[in-house]
Amino acid sequence: MFNRAKIIDDNFQEFLNNNEKIHPSIIGEKNLSTSSLTSTQLIDLLETQMMSRLLDIKSRELRAIGKSFYTIASSGHEGMAVVGLVSRLSDMAFLHYRDCALMVQRSKKKHGHTILNDLLTSFGAFADDPISGGRHKVLGSKELFIPPQTSTIASHLPKAVGTALSIARTKHLGLKGEIPADAVSFCTFGDASLNHASAQSALNCAHWISYQNIPLPLVFICEDNHIGISVPTPSEWVKNSQSSTHSMKYFECNGLNLIETFEVTKKAFTYARTWKKPCFLRIKTVRLLGHAGSDIETSYHSLKHIEIHEEKDPLKISAQLVYENNLLSSQQLTKMYSNLKERINRIAKDVIKKNILQSAEQIMHPIQPRTKIKVAPEAINQIIREKIFANDWPQLSNTPHSMGRLINLGLTDIMAHYPYALIFGEDVAKKGGVYNVTAKLEKRFGRKRVFNSLLDETSILGTAIGLAHNGFLPIPEIQFLAYIHNAQDQLRGEAATLSFFSNAQYTNGMVIRVAGLAYQKGFGGHFHNDNSLTIFRDLPGVIVACPSNGADAVMMMRSCVKEAYEHGKICVFVEPIALYPIRDLHESGDAQWSFDYPKNIDQTIPVGKFLVEGKAKELCILSYGNGFYLSNQAKKILKEKYKIDCKLIDLRWITQYDEITLSEELSKSEHVLIVDECRKSGSVSEALVTMMVEKCHPLPKISRLCGHDTYIPLGDAANLVLPQVEDIIASSLNLLGRKS
């Protein structure tokens, strides 16, 4: 195919040289005197558009010599520069990948910002890239208040909702956030992205919040270029699908015309800022240079079709607006374009001499940031603490409780200790959650800190990310483990990657509480008895905890909260549902699985620290969660019936456990049985066995007892596919070469 970038470049220069004109029907409003856009602003916007276009062209030139890795063009979307002008630096921006012009214009609000150098450095994945440190081409900037986005479709929209929600929430709680009270949150996306589940989730959530008159200063900006890669967007689909609601005001403009775009965009931002309500802004654009550098557009569009769209080049329209309003001549614009091209070429020559990342350690550094970003608040006054607990205070001492009850008490202390902590999720407020774990918390801390969400896990996690951007400590609840799969991209693609793609400049620390795992005596089926933690285990830097008893749960939760608050870590706290009510271990009434509340709030279990019970060398049973509870039952039978003494290890932490110390402990045993309630394939036990083979000296004889590779059926049939006490005993005897 012809080099369309060169053709567009040549066509624009010819347009200027020949003083050509675009048909009035394409341009729209031309009279600057009736607009609030000044002549200086119009010229400045055109300069930004030229910069963005030339960056697109230079990126493709550098790609041809292996010095650039980014060819998703902003060409045709240069009108988005207006959003960069209208928005404030304090308005947090979540951007579409075609928003180079927006970034360039926004950078002009920051004196001395080197946006051209920064973007070219990012295009080539050079280590000096100020946002990602060479890890990816992302549109983002700490200075410009733009969290980085990779080639996102719509997964950034839910967190824009959360950020907007956070703005008024700080004021209502008397807290100071990262974002001022008069700011708005905004996100940009394509017309095809509008159809994505994440976009629909975010829009629905915004409607739901706005319908209840909860403040939500948010601008959704759809850049409608009428196509998604090769799939056309039905005519007026965006307008007809978004303009008929009462809970979100709709705006639209011709994004090829800077005057019209400025007036409408200003109205949209003013509306959101003044009324604290969400609005939807459709900016009609045109896509030039195909979807990306690898896209052969002639495979689905005729050359005539491509050329017709190229005639709608927004740079031509802006240039015509400038010289028809007698601001600059076409010759002056030609010189401006030529000077900018020269400038970008000069910067590019220096940029391509920069270094790329040199080691795995460099690349991985942001995943494990240990620098404190915050200091934990001072412990609250004892009198205030007693008042918050009220009638529960006397029960904190010398009254053993079940896990569910202890987690509730632990969350009470955390909410009292951390004023920025928020608990939210489906049913968590007045009802106290499905299992009453959050009971009384709304009454104790109010509806602004403990609140119900709509039934949508994508919105729950997206809201958590957005809240964290404004300094909150989100503690969202996912009602059942299987439900996390509905929203896994918010965890995997957004929350977990933020530190990596921002070179640790942005973090979104949170503790995600997940009621999970199986052994619920027949309740539910696989949606309520999901025994797979695989989704969490391969997320770099994410901490995954799974306590086996209530006291550990309290102390481990405190460690997770500390990691999230002080270091911006993402923590997943898996609470075994079946153990919530358990009080007894061996027989009814023995209360051996009831524990006192760790009343000293400094009592924690550090991340990675496992529990060792006993010193037996012949047999060690390694487990976690429900498996550790069952292993304790099996240990008694092995001792009393078979005269076998065994050591028990409770892993506690599913990720980031101390491999060296654990391997040393396991090396002391002759036989090791790993009891893993998760499915055999993709289970925690696979990683543990690999670790032992690599690190244990001497290597014990190893065996695994896991759940079967199946979903969990209803009723007593569930016990047939999950490890039982009898299975642990039989597997232990088999490993030792003993008969039952």
pLDDT, tens digit, 9 for 90 and up, residues 653-694:
999 999 999 999 999 999 999 999 999 999 999 999 999 999
The predicted pLDDT at position 459 comes to 97
Per-residue pLDDT band at 522 (split at 50, 70, 90): low
DSSP string for 3-64:
-HHHHHHHHHHHHHHTT----HHHH----GGGSSS-HHHHHHHHHHHHHHHHHHHHHHHHHH
Which percentage of the chain shows pLDDT scores above 70? 99
Residue 464: φ, ψ to 5°: -60, -45
Considering only residues 264 and 71, tell me which one the structure prediction assigns the higher pLDDT. Answer: 264
**pLDDT band, very low/low/confident/very high, at 242 (cuts 50, 70, 90):** very high
Does the pLDDT of residue 370 top 70, yes or no? no
**Res 319 pLDDT > 90:** yes
520 and 473 Cβ atoms separated by less than 8 Å: no
* pLDDT for position 638: 97
Q: Select from 120, 119, 140 the least CA-distant residue to 499.
A: 140
Q: What is the mean pLDDT of residues 635-654?
A: 97
Query: What three-state secondary structure class fits 736?
Result: helix
- Lookup: tokens for 514: 């997940």
Domains annotated for the chain, with CATH where assigned, are 4-351 (3.40.50.970), 382-579 (3.40.50.970), 611-736 (3.40.50.920)
Euclidean distance between CA atoms 255 and 314, whole angstroms: 8
Between CA 715 and CA 525 the distance in angstroms is: 8
What is the model's pLDDT at position 150? 76
Residues sharing a CB contact under 8 Å with residue 315, sequence separation 6 or more, in sequence order:
12, 46, 49, 50, 53, 78
Give the pLDDT confidence score for residue 369 in this predicted structure: 60
Confidence class for position 474, pLDDT limits 50, 70, 90: very high
Burial tier of 174 (Cβ tally within 10 Å: 0-12, 13-18, 19+):
exposed
What was the pLDDT predicted at 396?
84
pLDDT, average across residues 192-221: 96
- pLDDT at residue number 151: 65
CB–CB of 552/492 below 8 Å?
A: no
Give the model's confidence band at 30: pLDDT under 50 very low, under 70 low, under 90 confident, else very high. confident
Cα distance between residue 113 and residue 107, in whole Å:
6
Residue with tokens 């110390």: 661
221 forms beta bridges with 188, 281
pLDDT, one tens digit per residue, over 120-173 is: 999 999 999 999 999 998 899 999 999 998 766 899 999 999 999 999 999 999
Q: What is the CA radius of gyration of the chain?
A: 29
Question: In the predicted model, what is the mean pLDDT of the chain?
Answer: 94
- pLDDT (mean) for 89-116: 96
- Kindly tell me the burial class for residue 682, based on how many C-beta atoms sit within 10 Å of its own C-beta (0-12, 13-18, 19 or more): middle
User: Residue 732: is it exposed, middle or buried by C-beta count within 10 angstroms (0-12/13-18/19+)?
Assistant: buried
Q: Distances from the Cα of 466 to the Cαs of 351, 460, 470, 495, 701, in angstroms? A: 34, 10, 7, 10, 48
pLDDT at 527: 78
